[in-house]
Structure 1
Amino acid sequence: MAVLVTGGAGYIGSHTVAALLERGEEIVVVDNMQQGHPQAVLGGKLYEGDLRDEAFLNQVFEENEIDAVIHFAANSLVGESMQQPGKYYHNNVYGTLCLLEQMNKHGVRRIVFSSTAATYGEPEQVPIREEDRTLPTNAYGETKLAMEKMMRWFDVAHGIKFVSLRYFNAAGAHAGGRIGEDHRPETHLIPIVLQAALGQRPHISLFGDDYDTPDGSCVRDYIHVSDLADAHVLAVQRLRGGADSAVYNLGNGRGFSVKEVVELAREVTGCEIPVRVEARRAGDPAVLVAASERARSELGWQPARAGLREIIASAWAWHQARPHGYEDERV
């Protein structure tokens, strides 16, 4: 039996494929290559296509014996979602509906969902717990919450069990050095900072320095991408064991501000990284830090690469080896 990984050629998806391969799983990857890279898929069977294409998705299920799905495929840029909410509802919500309908049609009853801390919006307390209020402040978070709710009703109606993993900022690169973070355009803080260290950007933009935080910049909980991948694999195993549907936060429980990330990156790289303060971005909460005790106790998840210095160092090794990402032919 195979695990279907949607969006498996993307950043977190490809690291999850690597984690599944290390455990001897049979893998099927579906990706429309909007943000994915075929070179990032280290094994398994790769299909290039869109979840919203009914005939294509039906073919994938017909040709493979799939017993579980890990769902990453979604647009995920907060700023863009505020400007083009329709794009996010069509790709994220409708795409998930198409996937769930095919799962139901073909009798696949397990799905692990790559959700987001953006479902909470401005937190009522820090660290954020799974039972806290969900009130997204941007369209991206709203679509992810809608996808979670859809899965709950497919569970009620059809018995499709789900695990939704809400997490914060993924960062770092695979220890083997073969895969890393390469978005076009790049919007994530750590790779942007490292691009500035490489001289590929004249500076980085600090979007707001007047938040209600110790140094005025946004605070986020950073997790190594391989630790996130491990959590998705553990969630599949839990569903295979007959567990009920559940929602889990994933996080280190320790937040770092934008200014702290930049300063640590300067130490790791030994490079000057100029910073320019700009206006706040719409929909950015001041602080997002997760309480992940539930994932640790029920999934048995223990982040093995929890230090921010280690996370940045692994990303720096990837960017040094491939300064132009997957377009760079050097290994």
Structure 2
Amino acid sequence: MEIFETRVAREVPGAWLVVGGAGYIGSHVVRRLRQDGRAVVALDDLSTGDAARVPDDVPLVIGSFADRVLVSAVLREHRIVGVIHLAARKSATESVSYPRRYYRDNVEGMRVLLDEMVDAGVTRFLLSSSASVYGVPSDPMVTEATPTAPISPYGETKLICEWLLRSAGRANGLSWVALRYFNVVGADDPLLADTSHDNLFPLVFQEVAAGRPATVTGVDYQTKDGTGVRDYVHVADVADAHAAAVERLERQQSADVYNVGTGVGYSVLEVLDAIRSISGLPVEVVALPRRPGDAPEIVANVDKIARELAWKAGYDLEAMVRSAWRAWSRLDAASAL
């Protein structure tokens, strides 16, 4: 099968394949690996990604990771040595309404990707997982050993992907790492800004810029100010975590899961205060009832990733909000021209 690319690219021996490489997180990961001097190929169907996010020196293959023939061709023609899988449907709320769609795309796509990797002899796999696998934990500070009990089809699919990867590791000798992201925010460049309609920061920015109040779902939790508390982590730190995991996979056989967060929880009102301060705009708040299943508080224990991968987040809340607001503002201004 001929691989359709957006640009003519040189052959890249020994490359890492970033599935979802034109997405918000994926594009940051691609740039981070290129900074380290690694060869990278991006695969993305552009359903939510943007080809402009991918550097000119990185081959971009447009297509689905569930396309068996395409994936096989990419793995072989680009001599892929490892796969970083970031592509998935990711809205917990949407997944409740469309569970079969989430199982089809996230789980079946993962199975196809693993099948073709095994057939092609590619033995390294880095999975984008999620804190959603923990559900509503009894202890808000979660370690990798905290029982997993996802409460949405999205969280279920992420956990099943981890199970698939673990089983393939045992059966087929794959070396793997799964990174359980917490709430990823910020941007290194306006071109790479988070434009999702499901994430807190861009949702609030959009409302604030339009002079509308920000909605807060749940103001009666047993937390510091009654609103939900979450661990927010800058996307550049997340990209660094991927680079550390890639180095680990290149160095030794692995079968590990790691939390990727800051280890610090911020409430929704604290985030809104930071946005108010940095944007200089008034941020009015409208309180809505809790969403069913939302955890009052969940924060990452990051001792394991610090100890084993020598990784630690470097951005605090103010820096995260500032980078996100700067990127979103420039992107919004550009779109208005």
TM (norm. structure 2) is: 0.92
Of 313, 317, 328, the match for 2:322:
313
Aligned partner of 2:198: which letter?
A: T
Instruction: Establish whether residue 189 from structure 1 lines up as the match of residue 200 from structure 2.
Output: yes
- Contact 2:191-2:331 at 8 Å conserved across structures: no
C-alpha distance in 2, partners of 1:178/1:78?
26
**Deviation of the 1:329 alpha carbon:** 8.4
Give the C-alpha shift of residue 120 in structure 1: 0.7
1:96 pairs with 2:103:
no
SS class of match (1:206): strand
1:27 partnered with 2:27: no
Q: CA deviation at 1:177?
A: 4.2
Once residues 270 and 197 of structure 1 are traced to their aligned partners in structure 2, the CA distance between those partners, rounded to angstroms, is 10
Unaligned stretches of 5+ residues in structure 1: none
When the two structures are aligned, how many residues end up with a matched partner? Answer: 323
Question: After TM superposition, where is structure 1 displaced by more than 4 Å over at least 4 residues in a row?
Answer: none
Give the residue type in structure 2 aligned to 1:283: G
Contact 1:97 1:150 (8 Å CA) reproduced: yes
What SS does structure 1 have at the residue aligned with 2:192?
Answer: coil
CA offsets 1:24-83 (integer angstroms, 9 cap, x no match): 111111111121111111241101111111112112112111111111010010100111
Match of 2:226 among 216, 219, 244: 216
For the pair 1:322 / 2:331, whether they are aligned, the reply is: yes
| Correspondence 1:111-122 to 2 at 5 A | 111-122=125-136
Contact 1:79 1:283 in 2 (8 A): no
Aligned pairs for 1:243-262 (under 5 A) are 243-262=253-272
- TM-score normalized by structure 1? 0.94
Distance in 2 (CA, whole Å) between partners of 1:10 and 1:136 is 24
Deviation at 1:321, TM superposition (A): 1.0
Q: Separation in 2 of the partners of 1:100 and 1:268?
A: 44
* Structure possessing the higher relative contact order (Cα contacts under 8 Å, 6 or more residues apart): 1
CA distance, structure 1, for counterparts of residue 168 and residue 25 of structure 2:
25
Is the CA contact 2:232–2:317 (under 8 Å) kept in the aligned structure 1?
yes
The answer to whether the 8 A contact 2:22-2:49 is kept is: yes
Q: Provide the rounded CA distance (Å) in 2 between the counterparts of 1:28 and 1:208.
A: 42
State the superposition RMSD in angstroms. Answer: 1.5
Paired with 1:244 and 1:124, the residues of 2 have a C-alpha distance of 29
TM-aligned CA deviation for residue 274 of structure 1: 2.0
Q: Identity across aligned pairs (percent)?
A: 38
